[in-house]
Each structure stands twice: as C-alpha cells, then as structure tokens.
A and B are shown apart, each in its own frame.
Chain A
Amino acid sequence: MDGATLTMPLLAVEGLTKRYGSRIGCADVSFDLWPGEVLGIVGESGSGKSTLLSCLAGMQAPDTGAVLWEGRDVLAFPEAERRRLMRGDWAYVHQNPRDGLRMGVSAGGNVGERLMAVGARNYAAIRDMAIDWMGRVEIGPDRIDDRPSAFSGGMQQRLQIARNLVTGPRLVFMDEPTGGLDVSVQARLLDLLRGLVRDLGLSVVIVTHDLAVVRLLADRLMVMKEGRVIEAGLTDQVLDDPQHAYTQLLVSSVLQV
C-alpha cells in the first residue's frame, strides 16, 4: 500500500441526502471508509439504510451530497466510467441472490461473467477461475455447469458472493447478505464472509438489521433511525455501551437463547 492510499479514505461520503417527495429517505449522512475497513449500517425497517446503500452504489441519484471514491466524486462520473467501476473495483451483493445472479446461466457462467466483462477471452482460464472461486465459497467443482435454480438458498448466496469477488474488487456493498437464510446457514455464511474479508483485505459497507452480523463482521457501526445517523463508533463500543436511547432499545431487543 503506498502513501496516498493511507492518507486518503477509500470512500468519503459528505452530507448525502435523498428525499422521496416530502418524505426523507436518508438525510445528511457523512462518513469515511478506509482501506480494509468494514462498516456496518444497522437500523429498523424504513430507517433509510437501503436507500443510503443504493445511493452509495450509484443505483439511485441522491438529491444533495457527495460520494468521493479515492478523492473523486462518483456522482459526477460519466456513466461509462461509473459502470466500469461497478464491474471492476466495486461489487454489490444483493439480499435476494436472484437479483444478483443470472438464473438461466450456469454457475460457472455466472462467476465468469465479470471476468468476461473486463475482457477475459480464454475459456480454460475463465473456467479455472470459476472453479477456484466456487471452491473458496464451498461449492464443489461438480456443480459448475448447474444452474443457480438447482441450488439451495445458501448456495445461491455464496455463488453470488463468488461472482462478485472474482474480479478482485476493493469495495463491496452488501445489502442484508444473510437475510432469508436459516440460522445455521447464516452462521456458515458469516464465517465464510469474515474469512474472505480478512484474507482479501476488502473494504465493505454492510447493511443489516441483524446485530449479530455486525458484531462478527464490522469494525465500525452506524445506527440509523428515520433517515439520520443517530450513533456511530467502533462496533463493540456501540453495542456494549449504547448512548442513544434508540440504540439502547435496539441492543436490548435482541433475543437471548
């Protein structure tokens, strides 16, 4: 890592606001994300965390504010460059794997798509990469020619992660990656994600309503309510010593078995 990347955050968000008519999607959100850092965003349904994520990932245009990628405003990028970013340095893991996968294309084709999109033209090399990445997310090489529709929900989610990470992105957005999975599958997926994030030194923005997910994955945490960030800090600090009344409520609402 050179000096420039150490002195500049990978992603800097300044005063991001998105309104839906008179209602607020998210308001005046600012944060910095440093290389190799995992930022969790938690909050209840309707708190604006998904709006924030889709604004960050360029899927919606915010009303005001700036998203700086290595110091350059992503919102001012021409579309060609923004899409190049989306299939190169950035990746987006959807909550529902069906939104992020091509269900009519084999698992190998799904993983290979990003490679081919950035210019890979050697079949054997693409296939080797696909097998390698499917192995890393614990999908056997014998499933490479099966379609994702023949996979279980947990496998589909792991395949989506492999498909996103194959081109070596530096920043990954995740929208409730464990949503809709049963707890044992969730645990394995979290374990896998934690390993990948640590091994690859990924920067991640992860949105979830599940505090256990952020406890395991996130270095820092932002709590959102009604479109605003009400508390932010180190994950353990926020979860163990919540200051804001809503955060206290959120932490105390977690069921203990």
Chain B
Amino acid sequence: MRSLYHSSRKQEKLTESITMSSEPKDSTKTPAEQSAAAVIENKRSPADFLKAVLGRPVNVRLNTGTDYRGVLACLDGYMNIAMEQTEEYVDGQLKSKYGDCFIRGNNVLYISSPTR
C-alpha cells in the first residue's frame, strides 16, 4: 500500500511548497505559522481547498466531460476520489447513481465545491 505513506507525504510537500513560495524571505516561522500567514493573505493552496471540501457535496468533472455529483468521502495525492451518493451526468443528463464510487485520479479535470 503506497498511498497512505505516499499521499500524506505528497500533501505535506504541497503545503510546504506553497507557503515557501509565498514567503521566500522568512524561514524562521514554523509551517503552521506560515500556513496561517497564507490564509491571512487570502491565498488558498490546493491542500487548503481539499481540507475544506472533505465530507461536503462536490462536483467532479472528468476529461471526457462527464460530471459526478456526490459527497466527497476522501481522496489522495493522485486525486483518486471516493464519493458517496454519487450521481453521474453525461451531457448534463442524469445517467446513473452509485451508492459508493471510486474515481481514478488521472481522469479528473477539476473538483468544484458549490458554496463556501
């Protein structure tokens, strides 16, 4: 099982990289302080976004144009996604429903969250 280790490592790196790039001159702050600073600056890294949408209704769009709407159960660094109460829309038409489903990350174009 690579992902538990791998994805959390990757996410860590994601968070680091964005806070580093936003504050290149200040290396004295802890990562937590840096990410707090990033929030104050109204920046939102992909890691922040993912934290915010976990357990919430999302729309996942694939490269093929198919949309999946459901509750985001979890995801990893490859953007593999587990969703609940999923509805599949092809060309905007509801095609089928899945109680649980796994979406392979390479097919994902974007994840959108309807509200904030």
A and B form one complex: no
Residues of A in contact with B (beta carbons under 8 Å apart): none
Residues of B in contact with A (beta carbons under 8 Å apart): none
